[in-house]
Amino acid sequence: MSSALHADLVLTGATIITLDARDTPAQAVAVKGSTIVGVGSTADVEGLIGRGTRVLDLRGRTVVPGFVDSHTHNTLVGEFRYSFTQLNTAAALNPTLDDLLATVGARAAATPPGEWIGGRNYDPNGMREQRWPTRWELDRVAPGHPVLITIRGGHACVVNSRALQLAGITRNTPDPAGGVIDRDERGEPTGVLRDVHDIRAVPPPATLADLKDGLATLNGMYLKLGITSTHDCGAAPRVEPYRAYQEAIAEGRWQVRTSLFPYVDYAMANDWGPRTGFGDDRLRMGGVKLFMDGSIQCFTCAFRERYVDRDTRGWEGLRYSQDKANEVVAEAHRRGYQVAIHAQGDWGITVAVNAIEHAMERFPRPDPRHRIEHTLCPTLDDLRRMQRLGIIPNMFLFHPWFWGDQHIDNFIGPERAARMVPARTALDLGLRPCAHSDCPVCTPDDPVWPSNPLWAMACAVTRKTRSGRDIGPAERITPLEALRIYTLHGAHASFEEQRKGSIEVGKLADLAVLAENPLTVDGWHIKDIVVEKTILDGQVVYDVEA
């Protein structure tokens, strides 16, 4: 046989979870260039092995398609609020306010006066005092610096007096649309800002070099987790983040395949021409992103019923009226974009589905595959409408474990919490949910909440809280279903199911080699499975032994 017909790489002696239409079992896979050219038994691919073929005997390891993280904000790790250089203020690392303030004070002592001090991953409900620090407490430990500490998820922050002054926020500043400036009994801002987006523009913006450095760091972290594709669902609304992707790819510093979903206001105001699907296998236009409501941890998710320990339904977090939502979504849909709508509360999701339904009725077009991002607490009726309309629910499968106890005790109570992130119901209705980490909500290096797809699968399979409580066992899914959500369904969510997401001849050779089989181990142990190799474009780009 001519060497031109031989494979470049052959994996043998493995359990291959193909995720094809029949879940066909296999033991070997052959790759030529960036494409899979053979899948089956060892005998099936032996004829593709030539003198120059690299053959890896995996000795019983498991091979799965590369993971697709369907909602990230990759360039944000280069921005001030999420930089890896900022303080990790997670409650597990700073359990009391005294601990937190000591951490901030130590950073202030080592930072030149006037420079910003930032923290990420704050969790007020996880603190012993179950509250935010006040601006005045931050003033005491960092009087010479503007300070900004962001909640995990990014929808709220606390700042000190110097940062408030730089932002121009006073007691006379009205609450912005879709946001809340928390105030004390005298009407003074406490420093806590919930979905107040103007504060994001106050710290110095990241440079192009900062953004590329962030991408390069994140690239290595993703490959270590077997992540070969991401969907970037919103970068800072300026040109630099998108230029950073292009340059980082050209420089070999960003390898992970990426679909871009710029924020709708930025994309519509700066229409450079490309629509959904434009680009190549490395970097492509996904669609546009918009927010319908806020964050449950900030009490700005819009619900039909009030929160457990706060007298609000979160409607102050709604960004649009129904009429305005209809207008914005219809125009994006008319222009040919796939639309991805952040919506978490049951009422916020209803408004989002209403807007998509209106757009599709007004401007019919086949298979637009609009998406609801996070889809935390949809009603059964809305899930049925989503199935009828072909809407994709994108789910943060970590919720039961990461925040489950808080959902039960602080946010929505046990009954609604049992129905949140309803992957089982969605699958049973014929929907094709995908899943995500929302990085940098959680990052690959996070010692508390890592953005590991295998960890998310374990959460979806077990539906346990941190304290060990069952949270909606009726919504548990099987390991195979969880794996399909993080692979083939992720590819489908970006119109790429013919190119990736399963191990089949003709598809891209994006693979992860696992030390154990997620279909046979204990459900919670799935999170501990080690990714031994990651193969992207037919190349071994991560090897645990290297």
Position 1 scores a pLDDT of 45
Where a domain ends, among 166, 201, 236? 201
Tokens of 268: 């519509």
Count of residues making up the chain? 546
Position 3 scores a pLDDT of 58
Q: How far apart are CA 242 and CA 234, in angstroms?
A: 10
Residue 157 domain-assigned (yes or no) = yes
Query: What number of other Cβ atoms are within 10 A of residue 186's Cβ?
Result: 6
Contacts 24+ apart (CB under 8 A), 468-472: 469/404, 469/405, 469/408, 471/400, 471/404, 471/407, 471/408, 471/414, 471/417, 471/418, 471/420, 472/400, 472/417, 472/418, 472/419, 472/420, 472/421, 472/422
Torsion 321-307-357-279 (CA) sign: positive
Residue 248 domain-assigned (yes or no) = no
Block means of pLDDT (10 residues each) for the chain, 546 residues, are: 79 98 97 97 95 96 98 95 91 95 96 95 93 97 96 91 95 92 95 89 92 97 98 94 96 98 93 87 96 94 95 95 98 97 98 98 97 98 98 97 94 96 98 97 88 97 96 98 98 98 98 98 98 98 94
Residue 297 domain-assigned (yes or no) = yes
- Angstrom CA distances, 373 to 344, 353, 397, 498, stand at 8, 11, 12, 23
Position 274 scores a pLDDT of 82
Residue 127 domain-assigned (yes or no) = yes
Where a domain ends, among 336, 367, 390? 390
Position 169 scores a pLDDT of 94
Tokens of 292: 């319908």
Name the one residue in this structure whose structure tokens are 């909606």: 472
Q: How far apart are CA 488 and CA 497, in angstroms?
A: 6
Where a domain ends, among 365, 390, 415? 390
The upper half-sphere exposure of residue 28, i.e. CA atoms within 13 Å in the direction of its Cβ, equals 21
pTM recorded for the entire structure = 0.95
Residue 511 domain-assigned (yes or no) = no
Domains held by the chain: number: 2
pLDDT in tens, 27-56: 999 999 999 999 999 999 999 999 999 999
Residue 358 domain-assigned (yes or no) = yes
Which CATH number covers residue 85?
3.10.310.70
Residue 114 domain-assigned (yes or no) = yes
Position 154 scores a pLDDT of 86
Crossing angle of helices 346-362 and 380-389, rounded to 10°: 30
Q: How far apart are CA 231 and CA 56, in angstroms?
A: 31
| Residue range of the domain that includes 185 | 80-201
Residue 122 domain-assigned (yes or no) = yes
